[in-house]
A and B are shown apart, each in its own frame.
Chain A
Amino acid sequence: MLRFIVRRLLQMVGVVIVLSLLVFIWLRSLPGGTVSAMLGDRATPESTARLTKQLGLDQPLWVQYGRFVKRVLSGDFGLSTGVLPGRDALDLFLSRMPATIELSILALIIAVAAGIPLGYLAARRRASTLDNLSIVGSLVGVAVPVFFLAFVLKYIFAIQLGVLPVSGRQSTGLDATRVTGFFVLDGILTREWDASWDAFKHLILPALALSSIPFAVIFRITRASVLEVMDEDYVRTAESKGLATSTIRSRHILRNALLPVITTIGLQTGGLLVGAVLTERVFSLGGVGDALATAFTLRDYAVLQVLILAAAVTFVLVNLVVDILYAVIDPRVRTR
């Protein structure tokens, strides 16, 4: 088990190194490059040359890459030029992260809490109305662009009905103590329940929109997996032993059927990151995704660097966790 984890960690380091190389090459290939982006309209040939030298851009590429890695490792990504001009890029990322994590976790909870039970029920009642409706629903769910779904939810529930907030992370004029930056958690820690509830309400619509694709995918994998497992010989064996229906469902069907679902949930985190970019934009949540979108439009390369590296590392990390989780659940992986 330990060897398994170590091996996966080493693989991960390799992936991250290649990723940093890709990000480096990518940054160098951006239109106009860093210098003109930093100088903007004020660029003169002299200032360009000076800054080029100052940034070491006249050095050979491998030296530049070495410096790049060194700076990344020391956490120095430079200053934001567009999103929040003058702010340290890493700092900006860290301050924006809690909103995105809150949003992603809630969306994932919704997707899992709805997708797994519904997938299981649909499989049990194969070809029933419930089954057919959920399949159509999940197919439509994938076909609807996430940001459009966010539009629709916002339009109906926030603009027309006014039951949920239109945008932001908290109501204006709310005075809440901030401890961790996770607004829902802060309210719980400081026992300011109103603040918690307020932050939660702001998360509902974006999380619903964000959960649409993971929900559809988790639903379909669960359904397919349960259908397959229900036909397995060991379920027939369990039936032949006269076990209680609840035991058969939980121990023999679900425990096996959930294995592929776990992998899927891991893969969905990448989608969540991207979905967050879109939904945060619609709801002006001020999270990482929002910052990323702004950084792209304003060509804020310092921020882009941090965010893209962070996104990739997060994705790789989550998949590592999923692999380990998988090994914990499936003895065939663990005891090989």
Chain B
Amino acid sequence: MTPNPLKTQADRRKERIDDLAATAGGSPSGTVTGAGEIEESPGVSLIASAWRRLRRNPVFLVGAGITLAFVVLAIIAPWIAPHDPTQGLLLDKVRQQSNPIPGSEPGFPLGADNRGRDLLSRLLVGAQQTLIVGVGATVIGLVGGLTLGTLAGAFGGWVDSFIMRIVDVMLSIPSLLLAMSLAAVAARPSQMTVILAIAIVEIPIFARLLRGSMLAVRSSDHVLAARALGVKQSAVVFRHIIPNSLAPVIVQATIVLATAIIDAAALSFLGLGNPDDRKPEWGQMLGASQEFLGDHPHLAFYPAACIIIVALGFTLMGESLREALDPKSRR
């Protein structure tokens, strides 16, 4: 209950030393070299000290472990999958009326889906498309957001107001609703339209985030110092403002990786996803399973479990990153 003056004493001092150690270990921060340019920005020491904290953080390690396993699986899946996920190998076991979903049998531990395709293989190979959806949507959203945010933050004035008005309006539409609307525009829905729909929703979020932190950094001491030393505007923007504003953007990107996969599943569930299921994707598998939920819940549970674990991995990583990069939460 009592406020915590522990912080004021032993800890603060230790922290100061820790941070000092970090700057010494990395590169000297904020030193003015003979050329009259500020060589390294404080962002370096921030990232270095964040990394030191992360290395010992079990939450981050679990998240990173899951993520790594997921990426490795996505890469090697075609080789370890027992069967071809596109072939209806158990098609003869599908009984349209009595039992549309073949159960497990030797060689097919999880059984098959309603088209007789091996469920295990589809799950394994599904990691690939799921990764593509997550990373694709995040990268497109990130690039779009960074472009807009940089334009707004760097130019200020009417460019800034104009871009930010649009961003605000886009933000005022609930994200999945916007994604649904965008997905519905596609004449021929495909994996790419799903990725685009999810990515465009993220653009205003990234733009706002980057602009906000750019404004904060722009008026910070080391940027003022660089300006005072006569560093060119473009150099200030690209060498000082942007690198130092990226921390919250990186955190957001990690979290978007998770939401993109979940949103893709929701779009599939609503019938706005990729109709072509030859290349399996977890969200699509989950969305398609709703028909058989009553009698065959495992069809939903397996892809859902995969999505939850992977989303959790990204979220854990993002949250621990946020904590590590947030100077306020360092204690």
State if A and B touch, Cβ cutoff 8 Å: yes
| A residues in contact (CB < 8 Å) with B | 15, 18-19, 22, 26, 29-32, 124, 139-140, 142-148, 151, 154-155, 159, 228, 230-233, 235-236, 239, 245, 248, 270-271, 273-274, 277-278, 281-282, 292-293, 296-297, 299, 304, 308, 311-312, 315-316, 319
Instruction: Map CB proximity to A onto B145-181 as digits: 1 under 8 Å, 0 otherwise.
Output: 0000000000000000000011011001111110011
Selected interface stretch from B1-9, B43-51, B83-91, B95-103? B1-9
Whether A159 and B294, one on each chain, are in contact in the complex, defined by CB atoms closer than 8 angstroms, is: yes
Cross-interface CB contact of B181 among A26, A155, A232, A315, cutoff 8 Å: A26
Whether B270 and A278, one on each chain, are in contact in the complex, defined by CB atoms closer than 8 angstroms, is: yes
Q: Is B57 an interface residue (CB 8 A)?
A: no
Complex: how many Å from CA A304 to CA B182? 13
Q: Is B316 an interface residue (CB 8 A)?
A: yes
Whether A148 and B165, one on each chain, are in contact in the complex, defined by CB atoms closer than 8 angstroms, is: no
Instruction: Map CB proximity to A onto B298-327 as digits: 1 under 8 Å, 0 otherwise.
Output: 001000100111011001100100000000
Whether A139 and B269, one on each chain, are in contact in the complex, defined by CB atoms closer than 8 angstroms, is: no
Q: Is B265 an interface residue (CB 8 A)?
A: yes
Complex: how many Å from CA A13 to CA B286? 40
Complex: how many Å from CA A151 to CA B154? 47
15 additional contacts, CB 8 Å, given A19-B173, A146-B266, A311-B177?
Answer: A15-B168, A29-B185, A145-B265, A148-B265, A151-B297, A151-B304, A159-B294, A232-B3, A239-B1, A248-B1, A270-B177, A292-B177, A296-B272, A312-B172, A312-B173
Complex: how many Å from CA A147 to CA B262? 10
Q: How far is the CB of A30 from chain B (nearest CB, A)?
A: 6
Q: Which residue of A lies closest to B189 (CB)?
A: A31
Residues of B with C-beta under 8 A to A140: 308, 312
Residues of A with C-beta under 8 A to B258: 142-143
User: Interface SS of chain B: helix, strand, loop or mixed?
Assistant: helix
The verdict on A297 contacting B185 (CB below 8 Å), with A151-B293, A248-B1, A315-B173 known, is no
Interface centre among A30, A151, A248, A281 (most CB of B within 10 A): A151
Complex: how many Å from CA A232 to CA B272? 48
Q: Is B229 an interface residue (CB 8 A)?
A: no
Interface centre among B174, B177, B269, B271 (most CB of A within 10 A): B174
Whether B293 and A155, one on each chain, are in contact in the complex, defined by CB atoms closer than 8 angstroms, is: yes
Q: Which residue of B lies closest to A166 (CB)?
A: B294
Complex: how many Å from CA A304 to CA B272? 14
Q: Which residue of B lies closest to A273 (CB)?
A: B174
User: Interface SS of chain A: helix, strand, loop or mixed?
Assistant: helix
Residues of B with C-beta under 8 A to A18: 165-166, 169
Residues of B with C-beta under 8 A to A26: 181, 185
Q: How far is the CB of A322 from chain B (nearest CB, A)?
A: 13
Residues of A with C-beta under 8 A to B7: 231
Whether B315 and A142, one on each chain, are in contact in the complex, defined by CB atoms closer than 8 angstroms, is: yes
Q: Is B64 an interface residue (CB 8 A)?
A: no
Q: Is B61 an interface residue (CB 8 A)?
A: no
Residues of A with C-beta under 8 A to B316: 139
Complex: how many Å from CA A296 to CA B316? 34
Q: Which residue of A lies closest to B331 (CB)?
A: A231
| B residues in contact (CB < 8 Å) with A | 1-4, 7, 165-166, 168-169, 172-177, 180-181, 184-187, 258, 262, 265-266, 269-272, 283, 286, 290, 293-294, 297, 300, 304, 307-309, 311-312, 315-316, 319, 328
Q: Which residue of B lies closest to A139 (CB)?
A: B315
Whether B300 and A270, one on each chain, are in contact in the complex, defined by CB atoms closer than 8 angstroms, is: no
Whether B312 and A139, one on each chain, are in contact in the complex, defined by CB atoms closer than 8 angstroms, is: yes
Whether B315 and A32, one on each chain, are in contact in the complex, defined by CB atoms closer than 8 angstroms, is: no
Q: Which residue of A lies closest to B180 (CB)?
A: A296
Complex: how many Å from CA A26 to CA B183? 11
Whether A277 and B187, one on each chain, are in contact in the complex, defined by CB atoms closer than 8 angstroms, is: no
In the complex, 14 of the A-B residue pairs with CB atoms within 8 angstroms, ordered by the A residue number, are: A15-B168, A26-B181, A26-B185, A32-B187, A139-B315, A143-B312, A148-B286, A151-B290, A154-B293, A270-B174, A278-B266, A308-B181, A312-B173, A315-B174
Whether B169 and A19, one on each chain, are in contact in the complex, defined by CB atoms closer than 8 angstroms, is: yes
Whether B269 and A278, one on each chain, are in contact in the complex, defined by CB atoms closer than 8 angstroms, is: yes
Whether A145 and B177, one on each chain, are in contact in the complex, defined by CB atoms closer than 8 angstroms, is: no
Residues of B with C-beta under 8 A to A142: 258, 311, 315
Q: Which residue of B lies closest to A236 (CB)?
A: B3
Complex: how many Å from CA A274 to CA B258? 17
Residues of A with C-beta under 8 A to B176: 274, 277
Residues of A with C-beta under 8 A to B328: 228
Residues of A with C-beta under 8 A to B184: 30, 296, 299, 304
Q: Which residue of A lies closest to B297 (CB)?
A: A155
Q: How far is the CB of B12 from chain A (nearest CB, A)?
A: 13
Whether A297 and B168, one on each chain, are in contact in the complex, defined by CB atoms closer than 8 angstroms, is: no
Complex: how many Å from CA A26 to CA B258? 27
Cross-interface CB contact of A239 among B3, B304, B312, cutoff 8 Å: B3
Whether A281 and B270, one on each chain, are in contact in the complex, defined by CB atoms closer than 8 angstroms, is: yes
Q: How far is the CB of A318 from chain B (nearest CB, A)?
A: 10
Complex: how many Å from CA A299 to CA B176? 17
Closest 6 CB pairs of A and B: A270-B174, A31-B187, A143-B311, A274-B176, A236-B3, A143-B312
Whether B169 and A274, one on each chain, are in contact in the complex, defined by CB atoms closer than 8 angstroms, is: no
Whether B174 and A293, one on each chain, are in contact in the complex, defined by CB atoms closer than 8 angstroms, is: no
Whether A143 and B174, one on each chain, are in contact in the complex, defined by CB atoms closer than 8 angstroms, is: no
Q: How far is the CB of B272 from chain A (nearest CB, A)?
A: 6
The verdict on A315 contacting B319 (CB below 8 Å), with A140-B308, A143-B258 known, is no
Q: Which residue of A lies closest to B286 (CB)?
A: A148
Residues of A with C-beta under 8 A to B174: 270-271, 273-274, 311, 315
